[in-house]
Every structure is written in structure tokens, then in C-alpha cells.
Amino acid sequence: MSGRCPLCLCLTASSLKEDLLQVERYRAHIDAVELRADFLDDPEAAAAARFPAMAGLPCILTVRRPVDGGHYRGGEAARRSLLHRLLGAGRFAYVDLESDLAAPDLEADASASGCAVIRSLHDLDGTPADPAALLSSLPRSGREIPKLAVHVKGMEDLARLLPAFRCGTQRGRIVVGMGPHGFPTRVLAPVLGGSLAYCSVPGMDAAPGHVDPEAMDATYRFHRVGPSTRIFGVIGDPIAHSLSPRIHNAGYDALGLDALYVPFRVDDIAAFLRVADALAMTGVSVTVPHKESVVPLLDAAEPPVRRIGACNTLVRREAGSGWTGHNTDVEGFLAPLRRVLGGSVPPGLRASVVGAGGAARAVVAALAGEKARVLVLNRTAARAASLAGEFGVQWAALDGNGFGRMAEFSDLVVQTTAAGMEPDVTLDPATGYVFRGHELVYDLVYKPPETVFLKRAREAGCRTVGGKEMLLSQAYAQFRLYTGRDFPREALGEI
């Protein structure tokens, strides 16, 4: 493996025919395939030597043991016998052999057939103390390609894993962070110097955290990025639902920018900032639940961040310099609202804001700046009172009394919490409030496009605004901060 990092489709069907159908379905997006013979029915596995010729792509032969996350149930002697027969009869480009497998016979089979050995170690329980050293220790010769696949449980693990991308042999290295926190290692492999990246058919994932081939190629620009690519991203928890990568990466494509925007599921912001340093990142979007907790870690903050106490955008001039916090949520929130209200927010507008987190802070600041009358409601009354006190507005608990008070502040109702967002799509944060039909209802959640809260408002006759409009407005402002260019809106299709 040398040169451009190939994208390899893992095939986990029970028949060769179904595996071949998946190859044809995704052929335009992939460079190689991994035949997971441990998933094949016994007669199909016995005939698997003919698959490389059928696929017409470089093919990795893998018969994974259950202890390594595989499905082969025939016992170790039968597994080695199957590998021996397939290597002798097939034209596989690579064979995956585990690091603890002492098998000179299989290595000789591979050498005789011109098949390279991937020497792999899978740790399903966590990330070892020194992944780089462990990866370097895996090859039994300089001809083997080391592969380390570990379960990444948080940002500390990811920070520890990234240096492994600089290790390996002259033949290359394969580094995989499994699980949601390890997702960036999959899409960043061609940027970090990985020699192979894996993807799976949707619903047939070969390992935790696999991405489908089309998303790897289209959304994450897999075949258009490399070592010189600038990395941007969005941090949150959860984050898999985020549409921001599709937006920003579409903008980079349209303008021909060598950049990639990646989601990071972040449990520890300080550890993430070390990851950002390792990746030489210069721009980061911040979403729930980190908009407030990131503020003390900033080196500088723009006036809106200081005024609001929440930050949704990190920018620095160059890697290694200090982070400056920005907040594009205020204008992102107001732009769609102004359009619906005919161009401006009328002074004295009576508005209820549900929630008291980072997004709510931006909304309250925006509405107070427009001279609206605002009521903040939150399940934890003390948080509602604290936020309201900062901006000189009213507050109430999110209970029966609070829902009664909402009637006095019902020209506009804004829902700022994560309630109703995928995957918890059934949640409604204000079930006790009965819409009367005159309210303008604005939900900041954008996935799903219509939450149960927004659906209830629409069915009551209310005008509604979904979170996607705010998402786009604030994203356009972030794009300008990151790249110095206006977002090419004509290039953005349906999202």
C-alpha cells in the first residue's frame, strides 16, 4: 500500500452473490474490498477463492475470530485450514492475520501467491497506553503492514491514538478508532497518512463506527483530501445527527478549497483542544452541551461571547496559537425570524424562551437586543432565574404555573433545548402548554425537520420556523470566519 489512501468496503453478507451485489452498488466510491469470510455460510466460504476475480478490485481476505470481533465459529484449526486453502487457490491482494498468530505456513502461502500480510491487533475494550509503540511492534517483518483497531471511549483516548498515524513500516500503517469517539480516524485517514480506511454497507457494519461508502466519498471528500488538507470540525454530544459536515464540505467542494469538516463527539473539551492541536485545526463549531463550558478555555472572546456567556465558534490564526471565541448564533437566530416577521422584530414582541443553556443565552440576548419582552422557562428554575437576571427579563419554572405565564408572552415561542432531537424524537419539552394558534413557534432543533413540539404547534394553526434555517444562517457566518470566503449558497442542495 503506497500513495493515495484506498477506501475499502467491508463485505459481511452470508453469500458471495450478495457481497458482489454490494460491490457493484458502491463500485464508484471504493478502491478495494475486504471479504469477511467469517460471515459467509460454510459452502460459500469454501468457494471464496473465486471472489477476487469476481470483484475486480484489490481484495483483503479476513477470517476474523470472535475474540477480535469476528464471527468465525469453526474453531482455530478449521479457521487456519480455511485460510490455507483460500490463499493457495485465490488471488487475494492482502490477508489479515492477527498479531498473536504464529503461522509460518500461512505467511509462506501469502508470499507464494503474491499476497501481502496485514498484521492486526483489535482491542474491543479500550485504547492502550501507548498505541504508537504497540503499532510499531506488530509487524513480524518489514514487509507486513501493521493494523491497530481500538475502542476509543473519549477524547483522551483519541488524543493518545493519533500519534500512531506516524508509525508503521515502509509498507504503511492502518489505524482505526472504533466507536463514536473514534469516528474522526476513519474520515481523516488520508489526511493523517493512513494506508487504508474501511467502510461498510449501511445496516451491515463490520465494526463499531463504520461509515457508508457514499458518505465517506461524497460528504467527507475521501478521494479529494490528503496531507495538506486543512481540518475544521464541530464538537458536541451527541453529534452524529449534525448536518454541519454536509454544509461546510459542500462549500469547500464548490470553491475548490483543500479542507475537510469533521464531527467530533466530545466528552472533555480540554482533551479535545489537545486533539485540535495535534490536527492543526484553526476553526471549530461548538454545539450542545459545550457552548458555555468552552468559554473559560478561550484565550480571547469577541464582545457577543462576553455579553452572552456562550460560544459556538472557535477560530485561531494558525495552529498552536490561542483560540478566539465567536458567537454566530445571535444573527443565525434573528435572520429567519426577521424574514418571517416582514424584515424586523417589532419592539415589545412578547416571547417565551424554553431552556436556559448556551443556545437559550444567544436567543435571549438577541431578543433583548431587539427590545422584546422575554420570559425564560426551564425545568431547573434556578437556571431560568439566573439567565433572566443577566438580561433583565422575566423567568418561570417549566411547570403548570410557568405554562400559565407563557400566555402573557406568546407572540413568539422559542424552543432551545435538545428535546425532540434525534435520537430522542418523541420528547416534547413543554407538553403542558396548549397552543392557541396565534403564536409564532420557532424550534432550534433541525433533525428531525419537524419535532413533536413543532408538529403540535402547526396542528394548532401556528406559524412555525424549523431549526434548519438558523443552522444555515449561523453556518454561513462560521464559513466566512474559517475561510474568509462567502458560502456558495447555490451549491448547497437539499439537506
Catalytic residue among 147, 153, 291, 447: 291
Instruction: Give the pairing type, strands 394-397 and 350-354.
Output: unpaired
Cell numbers standing for residue 449: 425537520
Instruction: Give the pairing type, strands 197-200 and 350-354.
Output: unpaired
Q: Report d(CA 470, CA 337) in Å as an integer.
A: 9
Strand intervals (E) in 270-312: 283-286, 300-301
Strands of the sheet containing 463-465, edge to edge, are: 394-397, 373-378, 350-354, 412-415, 440-443, 463-465
Residue in the structure block whose three cell numbers are 510499531: 136
Quick check: is 17 catalytic?
no
State whether residue 166 is helix, strand or coil: helix
- Closest by Cα among 433, 328, 12 to 441: 433
Contact 29, 214 (CB under 8 A): yes
Residues 6+ apart with CB under 8 A from 463: 340, 439, 440, 441
CA 162 to chain centre: 17
Instruction: Give the pairing type, strands 313-315 and 283-286.
Output: antiparallel
CA 318 to chain centre: 24
Cell numbers standing for residue 414: 422559542
Q: Report d(CA 27, CA 13) in Å as an integer.
A: 16
- Residue 290: phi, psi to the nearest 5? -105, 5
Contact 203, 176 (CB under 8 A): no
Cell numbers standing for residue 194: 493512513
What count of residues does the chain have? 495
Q: Which residues are catalytic?
A: 291
